[in-house]
Amino acid sequence: MRLLFVSTTFPFPPRDGVELPLAFYMEHLAREHEISFALLASPENTDEVGRATVLPPWLSRVVIVPVTLRSTTSRYWKEFTFQQPSFFPYEMSPRTIVGLFRDAQYDVIWHSPVGVRSFSRLYQKYVDPRVRCFLGGYDVIHSLYFEQGMLILRGREKLGLNKLSRLVRSFGIALMERRYLREFNLIQVHSWREQVRLRHLFTGISSPPVIVAPNGLKEELFKLSYISARGQANILFITHCDPGRERQVRWFLHRVWPVIFRARPSARLHLVGSPAQGSFLSELQGAHGIILRGFVEPYAQAFTAMTVAVLPLWQTVGHINRIIDSMAAGVPLVGNYAALSTIRGFQNGIQGIAARSAQEFAHSIITLLDNPRRCREISQKARELVMAEYQWEHSLRVVSEALQKFSTKN
């Protein structure tokens, strides 16, 4: 089978949780199929063209497709008039598509992100209408927008007009999402909650098949040994401290950490991830018991000698790598109830602790710091769960079997 992957980034080597699955599926599907790649290159992402100069040996072909970004006014007008969402920003010439792909026939076009659908519409219209369309790693966008807006109204996120506007826009996007997703022959999502959301979205109408294939474990994390001893009190918080995304850090620092530090003055909170700036950096540097580690390389070292991991995150959309990483590393996790509910098979108190308030967060963390035996039990159960549910080979098998149904064009 001939597969054409289409994206706006070249995922080699993969830099984040978006590029990682794209790179994995391309490389492993190349064992049995012919893989090509189309990079949609606008003047704004010329760096990606530079990345595409060193190619994996199994990649049959890379095509640079010149595109332009629609103006902001044009994009939002199309969304306001329910033509298409603003995250379909690309324009390209039909003549360009025909010239680049006239002699290249494919069985399946793999889309990531959904906005590159603009490319395959032209391909189907001018080159080959029989090609099948696969949407990889999709997060239900109207749910994401609605959730972000509600977090602002509840005071959980920093006030911003962009995110607040998403709450209003989410209703129109749901109508358009219901329409454009039906253009795909197969949709892959990362979690069971996304599958349920799509089932609700398509209520009363026919819909394409939806498969669940989450990202797999980072093997280097599972190789770590978890050691918990009474008196050890290292708390890991992998997060973002950069402007605009520090709200969850402030919430934890102001409402949870003081309670923990008063009860356990020997405790240390390790902040890992994008560093703070300006006044927030000064605030963190002046706080008691906080260690600013920034980005940690190799990543597995961030989990070494940690007693407990915390994740005060209210997100319920998509695949949350930080949850899976902590469980794979065997570090007992205390997280927000909403975020942990995205993990299939998760049982509160067994594979981790789900907290609904600042008081529950603080109490749960202090209890674990004082109970090494409980920590070890949670560590073992968490690893068993993610080993059963988050294996790359399992996800590859699910995707391969679904794609095999498209081996013959209609």
Say how many domains are in the chain: 2
Q: Could you read off the pLDDT of 121-140 as tens digits, one per residue?
A: 999 999 999 999 999 999 88
Which DSSP string do the residues of 341-363 spell out, in sequence order?
TTSTT--BTTTBEEESSHHHHHH
Whole-angstrom Cα distance, residue 303 to residue 296?
10
Per residue in 315-329, pLDDT (tens digit) is 766 668 889 999 999
Examine the domain organization and report whether 254 and 305 are in the same domain: yes
Q: Which range is least confidently modeled, 26-35, 102-111, 336-345?
A: 336-345
Dist CA 192 CA 200 (whole Å): 13
**Residue 189 shares a structural domain with residue 254:** no
The per-residue pLDDT for range 261-285, each reduced to its tens digit, is: 999 999 999 999 888 888 888 888 8
Clarify whether residues 94 and 227 are in a common domain.
no
Q: Please tell me whether residues 212 and 224 are part of one structural domain.
A: no
- 307 and 234 housed in the same domain: yes
Q: How confident is the model at residue 230 (pLDDT cuts 50, 70, 90)?
A: low
User: Do 381 and 245 fall within a single domain?
Assistant: yes
Cβ atoms of 352 and 285 within 8 Å: the answer is no
Q: Is residue 410 part of a domain?
A: no
Using alpha carbons, select from 228, 218, 250, 225 the residue that is nearest to residue 237. 250
In this structure, the answer to whether residues 44 and 178 fall within a common structural domain is: yes
Strands (E) across 42-131 are located at 61-66, 68-69, 90-91, 108-111
Domain identity same for 234 and 187:
no
Torsion of CA 10, 108, 93, 44, to 10 degrees: -20
Are 193 and 72 contained in the same domain? yes
Expressed as residue numbers, the domain containing 102 is 2-216+392-404
Going from the C-alpha of 214 to that of each of 20, 145, 202, 224, 324, the distances in angstroms are 11, 21, 22, 22, 10
User: Using one digit for the tens of pLDDT, what is the confidence trace for 47-61?
Assistant: 888 888 889 999 999
Residue 385 lies in a domain: yes
Classify the phi-psi angles of 108: left when phi > 0, otherwise alpha if psi is within -120 to 50, otherwise beta: beta
| Confidence bin at 160 (pLDDT 50/70/90) | low
Q: What is the pLDDT of residues 12-35, one digit of tens each?
A: 988 877 888 999 999 999 999 999
Query: Is 396 in the same domain as 319?
Result: no
Helix, coil or strand: residue 255: helix
CATH number of 73's domain: 3.40.50.2000
Q: Is residue 347 part of a domain?
A: yes
Question: Is there a single domain that holds both residue 42 and residue 179?
Answer: yes
Whether 309 is in a domain gets the answer yes
Both tokens of 145, joined, read 């927008």
- Looking at the structure, tell me whether residues 116 and 209 fall in a common domain: yes
Per-residue confidence (pLDDT) for residue 244, from 0 to 100? 62
pTM of this structure: 0.84
